[in-house]
Structure 1
Amino acid sequence: MGTLPFARLRAVPYRMTSRSPYLTLAVVCTAMFLDLANLSAITIALPTIQKEWGATEGDLQWVISAYSITFGAFLLLGGRGGDLFGHHRVLLFGMSFFALSTIVCGLAPNFIGLVVARALQGRLFQTVHRRGDQALTEHHRHRCCFHDSLGAGPYCCGVLTAYVGWRWIFWISLILSGVIIPAAFFILPRPDRPPADVVASPESELEAGQQQARTNNSLAAIFQRIVNRFDPLGIALSVAGILLLTYALTSANTEGWGSARIVAPLVVSGALLGLFIFHECRTTNGIVAPHLFRSTSFNLTLVLAVNTYAVRQACTYFLTLQLQSYGNSAIHTSVLFIALGVSALIFNTLSGRLVPILGARLMVSLNN
């Protein structure tokens, strides 16, 4: 009796506040641009880094791989953290510590120090990438396609490497981070505090009181509830599986596919990822909805996405080494990559407009 009005009020989603959708778009796109800038731009400087520290070509790939391995492995953890603590807070946390790790990259005293700092950079930036995707609405997503461009990052890197040194790649990232952090704090949307008349009905207050009486509200109990919602087993299985798989795929060219150092991680990663899927299908607080693994479209999309990004990053890496081995300077090599960035910008824009007309299946077939 009298519950329907309260139920209706509780069903209304809370309003999201933002200064301007265009300011939000600018902040998010700048933050996500840092992702590709830090992943692809440093590639142009690899030959210079190799000469400075005498690294082998097999070791050189770890400047890229260290970033991408931790970025991919901890992506699910960043998404779950955003669900629990709010994506706005997670983005600010990620950007702040990303800035600190960028300082470590810029001050790296040797090659190993740079690789470790890059791994830390990728681990922290995945929280930013996850929040950036969350902030973009479908209306704005096609306008932010320029962050997929591979031209701007390598070109800027080529100019910096040629004139002021490769370390300035990280100092520019640090400057951009210093602009994005306060801008994100003041501009990005975050949930309003719900109005007093929508907070709870008498029935919900009674239920909350009974629940509070039944529950031990000690700090340990609260911490335990948060840990349970994080799905620690699922996160541990996914992180370990992705780390081992990426390590094996990255090191196979130097170690050989028949090497025990490659076969063992591949087998273990396959077992861990299989256990991860098995666990997610049976837990109530999984980090991935179990029905997704039963969708043919979802699984096919994952395969195509892995193929697309693997080919793109591999081409960028090997083209850079090949072009500079022919005597091209860093800035000349970066200019050659502008065509790749411009074509990506054009076709990303066209694809977004053609999908409603031709359908997603046909567009995916044409692009692959």
Structure 2
Amino acid sequence: MSVPSDSVLATRRGVLTLGLLCTVQFLDIVDSSIMNVALPSIRRDLGFSQQNLQWVLSGYVVTYGGFLLLGGRAADVLGRRRVLVAGTTVFAVCSLAGGLATHSGTLIAARVAQGIGAALMAPAGLSILTTTFTTGRDRTRALGVWGAMSGLGAAVGVFLGGVLSQGPGWRWVLFVNIPVCVLVGAAAFRLVSAERARGPRAGFDAGGAILVTGGMLLGLYALVKAPDAGWVTAHTIGELACAAVLLAAFAANERRVRDPLFPFTLFRVPGLAAADATQLLAFAGFLSMFFFLTLYMQNVLGYSPIRGGAAYLPVTAGIMLAAGVSTQLVGRLGTRPIITGGALIAAGGMYYLSRVPVHGSYLTDLLPGLLIMSVGLGAVFVTVTTAANAGVPADQAGLAAGLLNTSLQLGSALGLAVFSALATARTHHLLAGHTAPQQALASGLARALLAGSLSVLAAALIALRAPNIRPQAAHPAPAPDAGTRRLLRPAAEPAE
């Protein structure tokens, strides 16, 4: 069967462009998980307190999630390549600063600023993808590969973190980003055409940007701090209430301004709201699973960082297999059955993992659940990405990408906060009853894994009620302007 002549993926430039954009997503997600197993070494070298150590992870997550909507809109207004390169530059500089850090405050500041770079990179990259690969088959395959990067990044990040921290040292967990960022920046100038800024910059909704970014940052900060500060303390309740007020003010602002940062008409795109909600709940379960299972392997089973990271290698195979199959099936079956089935399979695998004993075996207690979960994980992320981008207008592609990535980061922060509280409460309850410390810890982590499986099950229920999107039948996005047509044109096509 011949490939259609208008297929961008049939060209070398198209393949390289997809590789570039998937590298962007992989890099952003890897840095959400790669630091996990390096934390003990970081604490020893830089003298972190236990309370402040969490901000090596949380500082990145808070700013990444908090600035995503702003980053997505900036890509639409200022130009996608411009924002992608700017974000990559910030990411690289902060990786260097963090790797060279000699005290805890410098490393935390670098990670916080690194999250801002990621918040610019991710929506710009995804919006370039959706406006480059516009035909049904091209878009389905490209979004399938992109979606698989989320799951792969989370799994591979833990492995790479173990190898680097136990090998050349934890600083290389950050230094390794620098050559990749240089490659991404150079390839962006080579493969992605520049765009003119879309519309007058004076029309940019600065008030909306301040309100939504402030609300997201404060909300994520409160969720991250809640397990330590307490969920029902005045501090936590006040922060969450202030975040809600800021987001409500943002919604009111968007309804009255002429050029809103976030046009709520975007939710009229079939399947977008359900896909974002599904991703939020699914990633709350998935990312927390990697976190708690890593703690179980290292603190209960006594695995080294490399051995704990290597335990996730079979997950990458399962994700890649499921991603390939789901990409082939989504055009025939639509998104709903694949998301629902994938989430149910993943929830079953995570339930299996939630039964881990204190004297567990990798082959019998971990590997089966990891393999089952990975198949469902690959199917969910591939298809959710497709559903969230089908029918999105080209001039709002960056915003839709930012919204999808926001749901991912918000789900991650929410899952870690809530499930950590459950694990801690269970462990402390058992310790108060004079249960052996290892048994109490294993039981607490198992409780968190069980809650994660229920979160993924809830994602399946939402997907069950979502519209069934068939990508090849979706209406094409509105015709882009001349600048975007130059962006989409293969290298061999003459310019106008």
The residue aligned with 2:248 is 274
Deviations 1:305-343 (A, max 9, x none): 221222222222222233221321110110012233332
1:179 aligns with 2:183: yes
The reply to whether residue 287 of structure 1 matches residue 247 of structure 2 is: no
1:308 aligns with 2:308: no
Task: Please tell me whether residue 40 in structure 1 is matched to residue 33 in structure 2.
Answer: yes
Q: Structure 2 unaligned runs (5+)? A: 1-10, 134-138, 344-459, 461-496
Partner of 1:245: 219
Q: Which amino acid aligns with 1:273?
A: L
Which of the numbers 143, 146, 151 marks the counterpart of 2:145?
A: 143
Q: Is the 8 A contact 1:95 1:181 kept in 2?
A: yes
Within the candidate set 305, 315, 321, 1:340 is matched to 315
Correspondence for 2:166? 162
The range that moved more, 241-250 or 306-315, is: 306-315
Counterpart of 1:82 in structure 2 is: 75
For residues 13-67 of structure 1, the C-alpha deviation after alignment (integer angstroms, 9 at most, x for no partner) is xxxxx97111111221222211112111111212222333453544332212111
Alignment check: 8 A CA contact 2:22 2:145 kept: no
In 2, are the aligned partners of 1:19 and 1:188 still within 8 Å (CA)? no
Structure with greater Cα Rg: 1
CA gap of 1:145–1:225, structure 2 versus 1, over 3 A, is: closer
Instruction: Return the offset for 1:235.
Output: 0.7
Q: Separation in 1 of the partners of 2:45 and 2:75?
A: 40
Deviations along 1:175-215, whole A, 9 cap, x unmatched?
A: 11122211211122445x9xxxxxxxxxxxxxxxxxxxxxx
2:278 maps to a residue whose letter is: L
Question: 1:80·1:230 contact (CA, 8 Å) conserved in 2?
Answer: no
Question: Partner residue of 2:157?
Answer: 153
Q: CA RMSD in A?
A: 2.4
Report the Cα distance in structure 2 between the residues aligned to 1:301 and 1:146, rounded to whole angstroms: 15
The structure whose RCO (Cα within 8 Å, separation 6+) is larger is 1
2:119 to 119, 122, 126: 126
TM-score (norm 2): 0.60
Matches within 5 A, 1:68-107: 68-107=61-100
Query: What amino acid does structure 1 have at the position aligned with 2:105?
Result: I
Is the contact between residue 70 and residue 122 of structure 1 (CA under 8 Å) also seen in structure 2?
yes
How far did residue 289 of structure 1 move? 1.9
In structure 2, how many angstroms separate the alpha carbons of the residues matched to 1:360 and 1:143?
Answer: 15
Greater shift in the superposed pair: 233-242 or 339-348: 339-348
Unaligned runs of at least 5 residues, structure 1 = 1-17, 194-223
In the other structure, the counterpart of 1:217 is: none
Compare 318-327 and 100-109 and name the one that shifted more.
318-327
Equivalent residue of 2:231, what SS? coil
**Match for residue 231 of structure 1?**
205
Are the counterparts in 1 of residues 60 and 111 from structure 2 also a CA contact under 8 Å? Answer: yes
Q: Which amino acid aligns with 2:142?
A: H
Q: TM-score, normalised by structure 1?
A: 0.80
2:215·2:243 contact (CA, 8 Å) conserved in 1?
Answer: yes
Sort the Cα spacing of 1:255 and 1:168 in 2 relative to 1 into closer, same or farther, 3 A. same
How many angstroms apart in 1 are the aligned matches of 2:70 and 2:232?
32
Look up the equivalent residue of 1:238 and give its one-letter code: V
